[in-house]
Structure 1
Amino acid sequence: MQTKRKIAVVASVVAGLAAPAVAVAPAAGAQAAPAWQAYHNATPAQSVMHVKTLKSRGYRPITVNVSDGEHYAAVWVKGSSSGWGIWQGMSSREFQHQFDAGMREGAQPVSVSATGPADAPLFTAIWERKSTKFLTKHGLTPAQFGAYNKEAAAQGLALSSVDAYGTPGDIRYVGVWTPNPGGTWKYTYGMSRERHKEEFYAKKSQGYRPVKVAVAPDGTYAAVWRKDGRKSWAHYIDMSAAGYQKRFNALKKRGLHPVQVNAENGKYTAIWE
């Protein structure tokens, strides 16, 4: 396991509370959540400290996000895997270098996030040692992102990690596609706050729920929707860092923990199970 260090001085992003646009929070069922830990709005140095501490206590990361200059969010669960690594503060070139190194070692990215303009993005990612088929692409324009989703679906792959970065006039996507674990999945992207809300209720009525959501620099949303029958879950968007913490505390009391956290421009979106 390695954590790439990068020195940066950035201001904390703390906005006023905002009412989430979308939420579903049924009472927690019989599904037992694993022991977990989560953090957000962490500086690079704080993130490194979290990684060292949580690794020493037997946790492993399942999702990671970088946003707003270089602030990190992640969720960790108790337990080991066949081998994993987490890197932060990577340029596009460094991300490609780590990707190539991972391929030689039989590891593949499972959660990738980026922030910053298309010509100078900053990446963070989790790798795990796996032998399954996968596809990873970054720097994708909206049209390219849509095309790769169709190509991946034709190969039996499903979008399992997504993030949007760039600038309002030049949105880019990074995605990871892995074998479909079963069930029907769909994706949306470039959705305004209201369009995402409409999609949420339309998909929910069809038995789908969001399993991955990313907010772009222009305030639009990309999402992966899956029909998996899970009854106990929650999804909120348009939260400040403080608003996310408030929902985090409330849902923890109901037995739900975050499984994906994403942010950009001080706005958080998250999914709990």
Structure 2
Amino acid sequence: MRRTQRSVAIATALAAATAPLLALASPAAAESTKATHSTQTVQNLPLDWLSLDALSGTQLLQRVKELLGKGYVPQALSVTNAANPQYTSVWIKDATSKVNVLQGLSATSLPKTITEQLKAGFQPKLITGTGTGADAVFAVVFEKTTQLAKSQLSMTKETFAKVNAEFTAAGFSIASLDVYGTVEKPLYAAVWVAGAATGSVQVTLGQTVEQRGQELLAKAKQGLRPVAMAVEPGKLITTVWSKGSTTGLKEYLSLSKLTYTLKSTQLKALGYQPEILDAEGGTISSIWSKS
């Protein structure tokens, strides 16, 4: 596809991505363009959220302008289907960080964009990608912060494991993770930030929904909870785990879009909001928490 770069600079506090259905009985709660910029700071707004599923780039930009005017900022963003990019996102009302959100980026233009943003004081906060090679499409959220961050794209599983070990040893921990490419050759895009995690961080790669459900129960017994999650091509799941209680979490893996929409309505009525979200291959996986 021929892509255009579009960017929107917004004020926000950022976090994770989308995915489908798994109900687990566990303490972790599992039931189961030419870039143009605009900036807005949101002040003293009550906490609220909404989810937008499968929007085109144009539709997303339209909603961005609308939601900014209502005091919403993006908390999660996921892109899927490189031939016709679809964006799933979660928005909350917040009043803290200033961010730039860029979409429709290629694997060639993204490194240059990251360099340009760094010069302006914006660190990568979240990277999401879909597709492979010259046809891969990315969207990125950058945050203006003094906290150091490192990012890397197009990593094989082996390279990701090596880089993650090196960055972890240097005091960085994973803040964002996405997997794109193909079933035969998954590629990893990640962001690490200095000193973000509490305690040891573990990563499990390429698990089926069933394996992932068992892993959740095992990690919960170790006092670990999911802090980032990505659905790979082939609907396998990669998860980042860190110290924390799973009490009050509900997890749903490999949900259809319709089921996700229905589940969102139910959970919102119960006081939950999506904490982690990722979309891939027509399905959505998410982890919810209750304040």
TM-score bucket (shorter structure): 0.7 to 0.9
Deviation at 1:253, TM superposition (A): 1.6
Structure 1 position 226 matched with structure 2 position 242: yes
Conserved 8 A contact 1:118-1:167: no
Task: Identify the residue that residue 173 of structure 2 maps to in structure 1.
Answer: 158
Q: Could you tell me whether the CA contact under 8 Å between 1:25 and 1:235 is conserved in 2?
A: yes
Q: CA deviation at 1:22?
A: 4.5
Q: Distance in 2 between matches of 1:135 and 1:19?
A: 32
Give the deviation of 1:103 after TM superposition: 0.7
Residue 102 of structure 1 aligns with which residue? 117
Indicate whether 1:149 and 2:151 are aligned: no
Which of 22, 27, 30 is the matching residue for 1:20? 22
Deviations 1:99-149 (A, max 9, x none): 011110110111110001144210001111011121100100000111111
- The answer as to 2:130 corresponding to 1:115 is yes
Distance 2:30 2:240 in 1: 20
Taking only the aligned residue pairs, the percentage that are identical comes to 28
Normalization by structure 2: what TM-score? Answer: 0.81
Equivalence for 2:54: 41
Q: Do the aligned partners of residues 206 and 256 (structure 1) sit closer, same or farther apart at CA in structure 2, a change above 3 Å counting?
A: same
Counterpart residue number, 2:39: none
Which one-letter code corresponds to 2:136 in the other structure?
A: P
| Displacement after TM superposition at 1:34 (Å) | 2.6
Q: Hey, what's the Cα distance between the residues in 1 that align with 2:113 and 2:215?
A: 36
User: 1:270 is paired with a residue of what secondary structure?
Assistant: strand
CA–CA separation in structure 2 for the residues paired with 1:119 and 1:189: 25
Aligned pair partner of 1:187 in 190, 203, 210: 203
Contact 2:22/2:30 (<8 A) preserved: no
One-letter amino acid matched to 1:188: T
1:203 and 2:205 are equivalent in the alignment: no
In structure 2, C-alpha distance between the alignment counterparts of 1:243 and 1:208, rounded to whole Å: 28
User: Could you tell me which residue of structure 2 aligns to residue 8 of structure 1?
Assistant: none
1:37 Cα shift? 2.3
1:30 aligns to what? none
Report the RMSD for the aligned CA atoms in angstroms. Answer: 2.1
Mapped contact 1:26–1:231 kept (Cα < 8 A): no
Question: CA 1:144/1:26 → structure 2, altered by over 3 Å: closer, same or farther?
Answer: closer
Residue 249 of structure 1: CA displacement? 1.3
1:193-231 deviation per Cα after TM superposition (whole angstroms, max 9, x unaligned)? 222222111101212121211111122111111222363
Q: Distance in 2 between matches of 1:170 and 1:86?
A: 27
> What is the aligned partner in structure 2 of residue 67 from structure 1?
80
C-alpha contact 2:204 2:238 (8 A) present in aligned 1 = yes
State the alpha-carbon separation in 2 of the partners of residues 269 and 26 from structure 1.
12
Moved segments of 4+, more than 4 Å? 21-24
Q: Is residue 22–residue 237 contact of structure 1 (8 Å, CA) maintained in 2? A: no
Report deviation, 1:192: 2.3
Assess if the C-alpha contact under 8 Å between 1:109 and 1:126 holds in 2: yes
Contact in 2 for aligned 1:164/1:214 (Cα 8 Å)? yes
> Higher mean Cα deviation, 53-62 or 181-190?
181-190
Equivalent residues of 1:58, 1:79 under 8 A apart? yes
1:269 and 2:285 aligned: yes
Q: Measure, in 2, the Cα distance between the counterparts of 1:19 and 1:126.
A: 26
Instruction: Determine helix, strand or coil for the equivalent of 1:219.
Output: coil
SS of match in other structure, 1:201 = helix
Q: How many residues align?
A: 254
Residue identity matched to 2:167: A
Inter-CA distance 98–22: structure 2 relative to 1 (3 Å threshold) = farther
State whether residues 66 and 123 of structure 1, in contact with CA within 8 Å, keep that contact through their aligned partners in structure 2. Answer: yes
Q: Are the structure 2 counterparts of residues 223 and 74 from structure 1 closer, same or farther at C-alpha, using a change threshold of 3 Å?
A: same
